[in-house]
Amino acid sequence: EVQLLESGGGLVQPGGSLRLSCAASGFTFRSYTMTWVRQGPGRGLDWVSAVSNSGGSTFYADSVKGRFTISRDNSKNTLYLQMNSLRAEDTAIYYCAVGWYYFEYWGQGTLVTVSS
């Protein structure tokens, strides 16, 4: 059974940083592109970033480019999202998901709140 468990969310002040993690199990993690998708309160889904199976290629939405860094550790079956210079509009539930052309499996999400 595929399991994705996000952690690292919380309350942070504007301009602050957080590092999200997504622990994966139940599939061959190193074989799949991994993606972060977020959903603001009462809002729709918003694609954030993706990383290739090897970690060699990374992709970002314009809204987070230069502030967020995606990475992975295939030896630990874990995906990361380093978020710097956080803004109020980054407040959202952050989901990790498996896949590139579509997102078949999703974690339960971790809530990030950016507020003073």
Partner 1 sequence: QSALTQPGSVSGSPGQSITISCTGARSDVGGYNYVSWYQQHPGKVPKLMIFDVSSRPSGVSNRFSGSKSGNTASLTISGLQGEDEADYYCSSYTSSSTYVFGSGTKVTVL
Q: Please report, as ranges, the residues that interact with partner 1 according to CB under 8 A.
A: 35, 37, 44-47, 50, 59-62, 95, 101-104, 106-109
Residue bearing tokens 């009462």: 42
Q: C-beta of 108: minimal distance to partner 1 in Å?
A: 6
Q: For residue 26, is it left (φ>0), alpha (ψ between -120 and 50) or beta?
A: left
Q: Which is nearer to partner 1, 13 or 57 (CB)?
A: 57
Q: C-beta of 106: minimal distance to partner 1 in Å?
A: 5
- Are the beta carbons of 94 and 110 closer than 8 angstroms? yes
- Report the relative pairing of strands 110-114 and 10-12 from DSSP bridges: parallel
The distance between the two most distant Cα atoms of the chain, rounded to a whole number of Å, is 40
Q: C-beta of 3: minimal distance to partner 1 in Å?
A: 12
Q: Which is nearer to partner 1, 12 or 20 (CB)?
A: 20
